[in-house]
A and B are shown apart, each in its own frame.
Chain A
């Protein structure tokens, strides 16, 4: 039962990543693209957690935690660059 649920969940997350990619390419506003990238990071974390569960290995969580931090910092840096034309003033 868990194997089936894991594979269904991974397919859902992969489909969600594709939808985010569509929004990233389509836009139309810059804010939409930043938001699509931010959501892609969230979905990538979900996918890493699922891969860790499929492989039965709990060392993937360090990668997920790092990706959560890098994703947040990059979203803020991108927004800051658009707002101010500079990241660290």
Chain B
């Protein structure tokens, strides 16, 4: 392996693992659930992304083959991370809404209502004539 490839891989490894650690540290340190959602996003995108790019460069320099399946993992995580974050936020909003838990003390305060006369769409019943499935239309 050349010195340049060596340095690039080492730098990307340290960057990626640092961000993975920062994400988990945020998960431990931030005060409320909605704020804790913010921490692990760093680990998913920049942390794991840098580690996967490091492994692409590493195997190119070591075996001389270009592999793309690492980028496939990254692409998959980029697509799925917002969906799971949205679901977790919905779980939290509903648990607070039904009174199962108290909104903990936080820096940003509780999430604001979307407007004066309505609440979050996830709390409301679907509008009339909303089809349960669009498969046969």
Contact = CB atoms under 8 A, between A and B. Distances in A.
A45 B70 CA distance: 11
A9 B63 contact: no
A76 interface: yes
A42 to B, nearest CB: 5
Contact residue range for chain A?
35 or more
Contacts of B59: 53, 58
B43 A43 contact: yes
A38 B24 CA distance: 11
Contact of A13 (B21, B39, B84): B21
B33 A31 contact: yes
Contacts of A4: 10
Given A9-B51, A58-B67, A79 B90 contact: yes
Given A16-B21, A83-B90, A39 B43 contact: yes
What DSSP secondary structure best describes chain B's contact surface?
helix
Interface residues of B, number: 54
B6 A2 contact: yes
B9 A5 contact: yes
Given A29-B95, A65-B76, A79-B87, A5 B24 contact: no
Contact of A28 (B43, B51, B63, B104): B104
Interface in A18-49: 19-20, 22-23, 28-32, 34-36, 38-39, 42-43, 45-46, 49
B13 A29 contact: no
